Chains A and B, each alone.
Chain A
Amino acid sequence: MTANTQVARSGGRLWQGLSLQQKQVVWAWAFLAVPILFYGLIRFYPTVEAFVISTTNWNLMSSPSFVGLANFKRLMADPVFWQVFRNTFLYLLIGTPVSLVLAFTIAYHLDRVRFMHGFIRALYFLPFLTTATAMAWVWRWFYQPVPIGLINDVISSLGFSQQPFLRSTTQALPAVLAPAIWAGLGFQVVIFLAGLRAIPTTYYEAARIDGVSDFAILRKITLPLLKPTIIFLVVFSSIGFLRIFDQVYNMTSGDPGGPLNATKPLVLMIYQTAFSSFDMGYAAAQTVVLFLVLLCVSLLQLRLLRDR
């Protein structure tokens, strides 16, 4: 803005000579100047840089040396990477369906409830406002063996044997996923509720008059009309689960990534490669893979959900 007033003062005659349309163009670019600088410097340049670094061998100290696709070849041959790749998809493949089905069931019933509606909604929504780091430690405490952990205490008081949870290679991943689903559920419920509200009641009334059953209404009216909401939530939550980090980092610190890397997701591998081993080229190659995975999953889901 200041640049613009200066232009107006020093070149007052020039500014006066511009048509209203031309003045608008000057204003528009003046408004966009700082943002364009920001996006160029903080978003586009680093994106290109990430691809460039992924083709180098660089430890931050010496200057980077070009190695072509060697980092990607190394990644394909790295058994830890495949384990991590599998974990990342497990987070997605368990997390997204479980949380969406739960959220929809809750929202579908809550939508018909009038008594204490706001209060019950708030109960489900509250965890969304928590800090993942703080909650990871609460859940970690829940999973401790008997004298400390709440869940094992309940299990053993019911007469079952204790579960290892975070110490087990098979149970650790779902145990880490649980707080992520728990924290995101309220957001999905609230979005589903808004989607359900947007369906005109006349549709339901017409169906009731025709004597259509509740289940048929759900299948023929509610779900098809909720499609935009469902598409949004599937894509949004999938991206969230593929990028899981805070919970894993905090629930398995000391043994990051869990026993035998059982819980390690791609983002944690990136973090360790870059900021513990300072193997920047290799880490950047992993971020390129993350980018491609997110891109493919989003495009695939949009395609599948649109077509149906």
Chain B
Amino acid sequence: MTGSSLMQRFAPGRVIVWLLLLAGGLLMLTPLLFMFSTSLKDSADIYDLRLIPAAPTLDNYKTVLSDGRFLRWFWNSLAIATIVTLSNVFFDSLVGYTLAKFQFRGRYLVFLAILSTLMIPTEMLVIPWYVMAKNFGWLDSYWGIMFPGMMTAFGTFLMKQFFETVPNDFLEAARVDGLNEFAIFWRIALPLVTPALSALAIFTFLSNWTAFIWPLIVTTSKELYTLPVGLASFAVESQIQWELIMTGAALATIPTLAVFLLLQRYIVRGVVLAGLKG
């Protein structure tokens, strides 16, 4: 490294910019840090607003987890987000693949029809969905929470774009080998778009894990609440006990943060991919 580029690298202006960026980043973390800090404080200590608790305790976690409600909500959210994600990964890919790689009359119409659903905000559909769920007896069930999101136009569009980059020669070769069309999709095409699949999976899981309004509408019994809905009802019940609310909020936040710390690179890449291509 030459002297001048070293000078440039540690120029005072750049150091100040770096420090400001770091300070801003740490400021972004404040809500999370104080949430964790308060969740470790005794109810008498919460008026002491120091970040490091004077006498850290896990009592709040014991209290919140003792009656099993949070664990139940946690499993509900996990199961629902997982099933919806699997369904999206399968169906959105299948439809995206079909629209990208098959020649048939009506293809463009199907594509346009699916794409047009992106213009309809889900809030417009919650009333008809609620009526539908009520008529079919889906209220207050896993299926009732899950059914609106089993496929998405966003995911279909994303996968279609990626399948278009898969060379037709690969598929033709498999056809010559006598593979049926589903096997070609499943065993040849799908493995070629794994970056897109993981992007779709991350996005779908995250949006279902944090989903609020529809689970709030469709569930009435507490056993079927998802974590966000459960947390909201828990927080209202214990309005004044902030240390317990912060503990509940921390429990809802820890899983996604833990996954992020493990898979940081993939998640950022996946979100960028989904954001830019979708």
Contacts and interface: CB of A to CB of B under 8 A. Distances in A.
Contacts of A275: 130, 217
B102 A50 contact: no
Contacts, number: 255
Interface of chain B, main secondary structure: helix
A130 B256 contact: yes
A194 B272 contact: yes
B212 interface: yes
A39 B149 CA distance: 11
A195 to B, nearest CB: 8
A232 B272 CA distance: 12
Interface string A152-186: 01000000000000000000000000010010011
A123 B23 CA distance: 10
Contacts of B94: 31, 35
A245 B213 contact: yes
Contacts of A132: 210, 212, 228
B125 A46 contact: yes
A112 B9 CA distance: 10
B126 interface: yes
B249 A245 contact: no
A134 B124 contact: no
Contacts of B248: 134, 137
Interface string B12-53: 001001101110111011011011001000000011010000
A203 interface: no
A287 interface: yes
Nearest to B239: A254
A167 to B, nearest CB: 15
A264 to B, nearest CB: 14
A126 B31 contact: no
A267 B46 CA distance: 34
Contacts of B262: none
A109 B209 CA distance: 32
20 contacts: A25-B102, A31-B97, A36-B110, A43-B117, A44-B117, A46-B132, A109-B17, A113-B18, A115-B18, A120-B21, A125-B260, A127-B31, A133-B231, A134-B248, A135-B31, A150-B49, A153-B49, A243-B123, A287-B121, A291-B119
Interface of B: 14, 17-18, 20-22, 24-26, 28-29, 31-32, 34-35, 38, 46-47, 49, 91, 94-95, 97-98, 102-105, 107, 110, 113-114, 117, 119-121, 123-132, 134, 147-148, 150-151, 156, 181-182, 185, 206, 209-210, 212-213, 216-217, 227-229, 231-232, 235-236, 239, 242, 245-246, 248-250, 252-253, 256-257, 260, 264, 267-268, 271-272, 275-276
Interface of A: 1, 21, 23-25, 27-29, 31-32, 34-36, 38-39, 42-47, 49-50, 53, 60, 106, 109-110, 112-113, 115-116, 118, 120-135, 137-139, 141-142, 144, 147-148, 150, 153, 179, 182, 185-187, 190-191, 194, 229, 232, 236, 239, 243, 245-246, 249-250, 253-254, 267, 270-271, 274-275, 280, 283-284, 287-288, 290-291, 294-295, 298
Given A27-B181, A35-B91, 16 more contacts: A28-B102, A32-B110, A36-B110, A39-B151, A50-B127, A109-B17, A118-B264, A132-B210, A134-B248, A138-B32, A141-B246, A194-B276, A239-B121, A250-B235, A270-B126, A298-B119
